[in-house]
Amino acid sequence: MKSDDSPPHPDRPAGAVRLEGLAKSFDGRVRAVDGVDLEIGEGEFFAMLGPSGSGKTTVLRMIAGFERPTAGRVLLGGVDVTALPPFDRDVNTVFQDYALFPHMTIEQNVGYGLMVRRVPKAERAERVRAALAMVRLEGFERRRPAQLSGGQRQRVALARALVNRPKVLLLDEPLGALDLKLRHEMQAELKRIQREVGITFVFVTHDQDEALTMSDRVAVFNAGRIEQVGSPAEVYEHPATAFVAGFVGTSNLLDGAAAEQVVGETGLFSVRPEKIRIAHPDDPAGPDELSATGRVAEVVYAGGHTRFLVDLEAGGRLTAVRQNLDEGSADVLRHRGTDVVLAWQRKHTVRVGP
């Protein structure tokens, strides 16, 4: 499958990062990346999403210059940098462990790269001040990393990367060490900072929620290849493969006899649980809806919503989601063993396989 099958975006300039036939093998046997073609536009917040071992981090390391491709090319701003070392590429990387110098102050950590480049002291101080203001850490200049929280250390690492004014910022699961609440806060902060600085962010994550909420576009990796590239809405609403349907969010898959009976076609089809309306057997489906009858096997209360696992008469099991809008929403549909009808609009049924 072509890596980027999303339509061209008229407002997105091309060319910040271009990967052509990128491949990487380890020990001559393990093919971690297998022929990736990808273009990331100037000023995009681009996510590379996939499970562990899918190749996304190896691709990021090849963009950074920490790994040499076995085959293919890396172009930054239209220039082939495949053979260049990391320090000769106009990119910076933020790692999950932040890699801060523990013996240096925050000011010294942020300004270290500028010092190495022999930027004049006055200019260095001003750029460090501006970078710390951008990540909202004014007044922390004299502290050391051990005196900061995890979220504050993450901001220092981000300031240190941005102070060098790279054309592309690479982020390798930088929020992975944070707790859930702080991770959500930092997602919003990263998006704000990216909008302010206007540079290209390439973000590696295995967290589908991060990819969907933060990125302009997302590439879904699996087994060293890209299965789909598109906007978060495109990837979620119109998954190209069964893997994308199952990895990005929760999805139901219909095949075999169930697909023939419910959809009226052979093949493999996906429908999202929140698209499904669960009703009593005497509540008929609408004219533009598909429907299936079944029996509730499990009911899972999840706070804001309830999940119903329904065994279909046609075979297989579907999950439907019902929002818990009020305290009195519990009814007969919440009980195991209840016969129900599941109905959804035909347009929400997406073919994901033959």
Q: Which two tokens stand for residue 164?
A: 């060098």
pLDDT of residue 233: 96
- Specify the pTM: 0.87
CA distance 178 to 155: 12
Strand residue runs (E) in the chain: 17-26, 30-40, 45-49, 71-76, 79-80, 91-94, 168-172, 200-205, 217-222, 225-230, 252-254, 268-271, 277-279, 289-301, 305-312, 317-323, 339-345, 350-353
pLDDT of residue 285: 78
Q: For residue 282, which amino acid is it? A: D
350 DSSP β-pair partners: 270
Task: Show Cβ contacts of residue 120 under 8 Å, excluding neighbours closer than 6 positions.
Answer: none
Q: What letter would DSSP give residue 321?
A: E
Task: Show Cβ contacts of residue 292 under 8 Å, excluding neighbours closer than 6 positions.
Answer: 258, 261, 262, 312, 313, 314, 318, 341, 342
Side-chain half-sphere of 48: how many Cα atoms within 13 Å?
A: 31
Sign of CA dihedral 281, 258, 221, 53: positive
Q: Which two tokens stand for residue 241?
A: 């493969």
Pick from 273, 254, 269, 250: nearest CA to 314:
254
CA distance 348 to 270: 8
pLDDT of residue 205: 93
Give 10-residue mean pLDDT values along the chain (354 residues). Answer: 43 75 88 95 96 95 96 95 94 86 93 90 93 90 91 89 91 82 85 91 93 95 97 96 94 92 94 93 85 93 90 93 71 75 95 94
pLDDT of residue 169: 94
Exposed / middle / buried, residue 268 (Cβ in 10 Å: 0-12, 13-18, 19+): middle
Count of all residues that appear for the chain in the document: 354
pLDDT of residue 8: 41
Walk me through the domains of the chain, giving residue ranges and CATH numbers: 17-247 (3.40.50.300), 273-353 (2.40.50.100)
User: Terminal CA-to-CA distance of the chain, rounded, Å?
Assistant: 14
State which H helix or E strand residue 190 sits in: helix 180-197
pLDDT of residue 109: 93
Pick from 177, 203, 178: nearest CA to 56:
203
Please check whether residue 145 is in contact with residue 102, taking contact to mean a CB–CB distance below 8 angstroms. Answer: yes
Mapped onto helix, strand or coil, the DSSP state of residue 186 is: helix
